[in-house]
């Protein structure tokens, strides 16, 4: 029996199609590529790496005071007095960053190092020169300096005078400080006003876990959020007005973890979204829209009224303040680390029990199947970053996003950190998926360049790409295995996605173009089948 020639051709084409589909899927799914103009960076912060806490006229910060409390609130009684000793080793640190092949070096400026009393009438030229030299060194290696103006180290001198985050009297002082550093550091490529306002306010003012540890949940933490957002806006407006020739974009960095509904019930889904608004929207919404999220205003006002208060515990923005805060961003700075589950609280907490948790009205938990970091600090859920990015786009439009921190900690006992390589691979594959969906991510910044003082965890949590030996007075830096991963990704911008991983909680989606190829293959297969039918009719 003769086979029609067109059938032979189709069979040949379908063979090519299937082969190409398999090869293309392997190349595209398992070797994903970031855009050519996509960049990577590494982050640090002043108190966590510099040390030299009382050197060269530096004033004390609230963290200097906090870590020296007795008994110590820090694990193992650790302090940041020496930290990574980067005040003296900054040239080595910048060189190590450059050897990674990354483009951005993020650092923060210590307010009391530049202004020992917190006030601009007492400028430390030595402190300023340290940051001038740091920026110059970063530029020498062709990297872009990303400077954070405030990363938690409020001058103790101001705090002692009641000039702090729960008091609007702080605003002119932080604006003066910002003006000094901006004027003296014209070669900075990106400016960040404040790092992680939620940690400053909810944890620093709403608990004892971070400095100043006031434990005023549901009260001073909302005053703090109000003052902090007004401070951010005031710095941003000052920068745009007084430095029109500076081209460096400015924004705030907000940490946003993913809150997943415990069940698919309407109540739990509503509870999870409410907690997202209290966790992230509390700061995102004013920056983008000028005011608090409506659900946050409603919940706090309701519980305040039921507690017989004459006004809401959440300060209100005036119409003028809304316009002042709205739009104070040139990009969105995002820090992301972990995921939580949330469900609706079984019953409303007593109205006279004031706390952020009672205002939210949810109960948090974690899936026991989620992998926990080797030092037990965070859970690892790579799909969380994808869901956060989707939520941001849905809630606030397609903003230009710089991921300013993302990372995992180890327990410091090993250099072969394959777990970190797997972590970054899975999280970055999820970021690529968000980018496929149109989310405008421009930069990913590793937290952190090196192991450092991790706040109340002290030196027990090791987030670094480089290991630091804190038992060695020289604070020796040693590359971890992840250095090779970072270098290769910075060079090739290719990433292997889809390989088996203990971290994956969702399957990796096939790229759209491979789905089109499969569709065309299906059409060809249908044509072959129709040809067979026609042939049988002839026979």
Catalytic residues: 196, 405
If DSSP codes are grouped into helix, strand and coil, which group holds residue 2?
Answer: coil
Burial 466-487 (b: 16+ CB within 10 A, else e): bbbebeeeebebebbebbebbb
DSSP states of 61-109 as a string?
BHHHHHHT-SS-SSGGG--SSSTT-HHHHHHHHHHHHHHTT-SEEEEE-
Closest alpha carbon to 123 in 139, 105, 137, 109 = 109
| Nearest residue to 334 (alpha-carbon basis) of 453, 431, 240 | 431
Name residue 104's beta-bridge partners: 41, 144
Instruction: State the Cα–Cα distance between residues 459 and 472, nearest whole angstrom.
Output: 13
Q: Are 262 and 346 in contact (CB under 8 A)?
A: no
CB neighbourhood size of 62 (10 A):
24
Element (H, E) at 403: strand 401-406
Task: Annotate 433-460 with three-state secondary structure.
Answer: HHHHCCCCEEEEEECCCECCCCHHHCCC
Question: Are 497 and 30 in contact, with CB atoms under 8 Å apart?
Answer: yes
| Nearest partner of 236 among 191, 283, 199, judged by Cα | 191
What residues have CB less than 8 Å from 343, skipping those under 6 apart? Answer: 261, 262, 263, 267, 268, 271, 362, 363, 365
Question: Torsion angle, CA of 243/248/251/254, rounded to 10 degrees?
Answer: -150
Query: What span, in angstroms and rounded, lies between the C-alpha atoms of 235 and 463?
Result: 30
Residues in the chain: 539
CA distance 21 to 356: 52
On whether the CB atoms of residues 426 and 384 are closer than 8 A, the answer is no
Give backbone dihedrals phi and psi of 469, rounded to 5 degrees, phi first: -90, 100
CA 77 to chain centre: 27
CB 183 within 8 A of CB 197: no
Spell out a b/e string for 10-41, using b for 16 or more CB atoms within 10 Å of the CB, else e: beeebeebeeebeeebeebbeebebeeebbbb
Report which of 470, 468, 361, 327 is spatially closest to residue 44, judged by C-alpha positions.
468
Q: Cα separations (Å) of 183 from 175, 176, 245, 247? A: 12, 11, 11, 13
């Amino acid at each position: 029996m003769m086979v029609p020639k067109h059938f032979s051709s189709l069979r040949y084409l379908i063979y090519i199609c299937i082969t190409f589909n398999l090869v293309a899927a392997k190349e595209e799914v398992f070797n994903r590529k970031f855009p050519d103009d996509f960049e990577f960076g590494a982050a640090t912060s002043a108190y966590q790496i510099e040390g030299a806490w009382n050197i060269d006229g530096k004033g004390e910060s609230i963290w200097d005071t906090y870590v020296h409390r007795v008994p110590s609130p820090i694990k193992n009684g650790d302090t940041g007095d020496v930290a990574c000793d980067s005040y003296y080793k900054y040239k080595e640190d910048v060189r190590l960053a450059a050897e990674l092949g990354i483009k951005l070096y993020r650092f923060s400026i210590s307010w009391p190092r530049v202004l020992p009393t917190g006030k601009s009438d007492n400028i430390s030229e030595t402190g300023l020169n340290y940051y001038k030299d740091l920026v110059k060194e970063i530029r020498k290696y062709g990297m872009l300096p990303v400077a954070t103006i405030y990363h938690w180290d409020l001058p103790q001198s101001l705090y002692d005078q009641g000039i702090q985050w729960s008091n609007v009297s702080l605003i002119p002082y932080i604006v003066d400080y910002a003006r000094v550093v901006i004027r003296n550091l014209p070669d900075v490529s990106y400016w960040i006003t404040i790092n992680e306002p939620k940690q400053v306010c909810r944890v620093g003012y709403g608990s004892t876990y971070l400095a100043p540890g006031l434990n005023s949940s549901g009260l001073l933490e909302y005053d703090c959020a109000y003052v902090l957002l007004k401070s951010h806006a005031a710095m941003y407006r000052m920068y745009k007005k007084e430095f029109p020739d500076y081209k460096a974009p400015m924004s705030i960095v907000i940490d946003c973890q993913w809150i997943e509904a415990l069940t698919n019930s309407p109540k739990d889904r509503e509870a999870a979204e409410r907690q997202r608004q209290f966790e992230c929207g509390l700061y995102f919404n004013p920056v983008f829209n000028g005011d608090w999220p409506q659900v946050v205003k409603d919940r706090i006002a309701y519980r305040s009224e039921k507690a017989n208060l004459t006004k809401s515990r959440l300060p209100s923005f005036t119409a003028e303040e809304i316009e002042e805060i709205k739009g104070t961003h040139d990009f969105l700075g995002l820090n992301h680390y972990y995921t939580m589950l949330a469900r609706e609280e079984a019953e409303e907490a007593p109205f006279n029990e004031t706390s952020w948790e009672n205002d939210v009205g949810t109960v948090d938990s974690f899936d026991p199947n989620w992998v926990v970091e080797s030092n037990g600090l965070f859970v690892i859920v790579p799909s969380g970053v994808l869901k956060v990015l989707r939520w941001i786009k849905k809630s606030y439009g397609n903003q230009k996003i710089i991921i300013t921190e993302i990372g995992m900690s180890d327990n410091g006992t090993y250099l072969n950190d394959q777990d970190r390589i797997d972590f970054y691979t899975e999280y970055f594959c999820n970021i690529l998926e968000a980018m496929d969906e149109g989310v405008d991510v421009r930069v990913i910044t590793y937290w952190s360049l090196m192991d450092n003082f991790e706040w109340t965890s002290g030196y027990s949590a090791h987030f670094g790409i480089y290991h630091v030996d804190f038992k060695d007075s020289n604070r020796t830096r040693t590359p971890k295995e992840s250095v090779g991963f970072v270098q290769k990704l910075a060079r090739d911008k290719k990433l292997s996605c889809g390989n088996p991983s203990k971290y994956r909680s969702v399957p990796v989606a096939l790229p759209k173009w491979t789905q089109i190829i499969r569709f065309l293959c299906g059409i060809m297969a249908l044509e072959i089948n129709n040809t067979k039918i026609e042939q049988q009719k002839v026979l």
